[in-house]
Amino acid sequence: MKLQNGIECGKDEVRGVCGPLPCTKDGKIKIRDFLYLDVTSEAAFRAMDRNKDGFITKGELKLAKKKMSMKEVDQVIQDYDLDQDGKLSYEEYLAGTN
């Protein structure tokens, strides 16, 4: 998580974030799934919320999704920011993933 996304977290946090990903019977996740599937969980939201204020800002989203352009980041925020405060709450984040 630190190398790929610049997110500091321990083993338990990694397990929580990766929990929704498909895995084998012995708990292994395919590297391709880890790299390319979006993880949508409360743990993933908390990992992206770097300043721990309960919101994901454009900057935090860009740090988590390095392959996205700023134009794409702006579009995601615009599409899912229901209260139009320029950032995503956990509820808005969940609405955008369903």
Q: What global pTM score does this model have?
A: 0.63
What CATH number is associated with residue 74? Answer: 1.10.238.10
Query: How is residue 6 written in tokens?
Result: 């610049």
Secondary structure (3-state) at 51:
coil
Residue in this structure with the two tokens 């390319």, named with its chain if needed: 36
Q: Which domain holds residue 70?
A: 2-97
* Under 8 Å between Cβ of 39 and 21: yes
Q: How confident is the model at residue 3 (pLDDT cuts 50, 70, 90)?
A: very low
What is the rounded distance in angstroms from the CA atom of residue 51 to the CA atom of residue 28? 30
**Residues 47-84 pLDDT 10s:** 889 999 999 999 999 988 888 899 999 999 999 999 99
Question: What total of structural domains would you count in the chain?
Answer: 1
